[in-house]
Amino acid sequence: MNKNYFFNLFNGEDEFVIASVFEDISLCLDIDYPVYGRTFLPPQIASKLCEFCSSIGLQIKSFGLTENSEKKLIVFAPKEFDVNTLEPPITYFKIDANNKFKNLQHKDFLGSIMSLGLRRETLGDILVKDNIGYCVALTDIYNIIVSSLEGINTIPIKIKELSISEIPEPEFKEFTDTIPSFRLDSIIACIGNFSRNISVNLIESGDVLVNYSVEKSKSKNIEIGSVITIRKKGKFILEQNLGENKKGKFKILIKQYI
């Protein structure tokens, strides 16, 4: 396996993370046995890994908070291995910060956990609902959180291990609007309620991601089902084309993660 070729595939990504992944793949090839990754990877890395591993005769299985979560822990396995038997060293849990005074958000939970000095890659997605943060982490990281985390923004907490079946699915807010075309700048203006100039500036500055990769082409046509992220604004799914009206505009259904 050519190291330079591998690193070039992930140009611009965190070199520490990519180096760790390279070592995991190399070990799997050497011992011909499954190797568990030690980081939760974002989708733009995981998707490229899937293609690369297939080309060298390995298979991968991913584990996240939910089926649709962004960050996934990857297990590398020989082609003939039954990946359904794999049990990764991760723990699902909830941080209950239920209180009467403050509505906590994702950033509150993540910030409090990161203040323990942990690397973000050792923790998967966090889903916040009714002041409860649902999480997944490497088991040794979970043990650190249990023993060290005393509260979320000074609010007392209770931490409890869960089964994966107890993790709720993400919730969405749906809305419809019309767009003149499926160009990226038109869609960004629509879902963000921006002017065209602001939309173009966001795209060209790298603040817009399509399917988790930065997209700087304002004229790119966006397909139905694409996940669109606008930094500091939110994450959306271009869910459905509801048809063309008499003025030649397209009515679309958008789902926003909440």
Return the percentage of the chain with pLDDT > 90, whole number. Answer: 82
Residue that finishes a domain, picked among 85, 113, 131: 85
Report angle CA 129, 130, 133 to the nearest 5 degrees: 50
Q: How do residues 167-197 score in pLDDT, each as one tens digit?
A: 998 888 999 999 999 999 999 999 999 999 9
Residues 76 and 7 in one domain: yes
Residues 105 and 131 in one domain: yes
For 141-153, what is the mean pLDDT? 96
pLDDT at 142: 97
Q: Which domain holds residue 182?
A: 172-257
CB-side exposure of 114: number of CA atoms within 13 Å? 11
**CATH number of 242's domain:** 3.10.290.10
For 77-104, what is the mean pLDDT? 94
Give the pLDDT band (50/70/90) at residue 137: very high
Cα distance between residue 228 and residue 230, in whole Å:
7
Residues 183 and 232 in one domain: yes
Give the pLDDT band (50/70/90) at residue 57: very high
pLDDT at 2: 86
Q: How do residues 5-47 score in pLDDT, each as one tens digit?
A: 999 999 888 899 999 999 999 999 999 999 999 999 988 899 8
Residues 176 and 250 in one domain: yes
Give the pLDDT band (50/70/90) at residue 68: confident
Residues 204 and 250 in one domain: yes
Residues 55 and 101 in one domain: no
229 has pLDDT over 90:
yes
The mean pLDDT value of the chain amounts to: 93
**CATH number of 42's domain:** 3.30.1370
Residues 35 and 110 in one domain: no
For 112-141, what is the mean pLDDT? 95
Residues 145 and 220 in one domain: no
100 has pLDDT over 90:
no
pLDDT at 69: 87
Residues 253 and 176 in one domain: yes
Q: Provide the number of structural domains found in the chain.
A: 3
pTM, two decimals, is: 0.81
3-state secondary structure of 33: coil
**Residues counted in the chain:** 258
Q: How do residues 199-222 score in pLDDT, each as one tens digit?
A: 999 999 999 999 888 899 999 999
Residues 135 and 177 in one domain: no
Residue that finishes a domain, picked among 148, 166, 184: 166
Residues 243 and 203 in one domain: yes
**CATH number of 130's domain:** 3.30.70.330
223 has pLDDT over 90:
yes
pLDDT at 230: 94
For 144-162, what is the mean pLDDT? 95
Residue that finishes a domain, picked among 85, 107, 128: 85
Contact 104, 131 (CB under 8 A): yes
Residues 39 and 66 in one domain: yes
Cα distance between residue 201 and residue 204, in whole Å:
5
3-state secondary structure of 249: coil
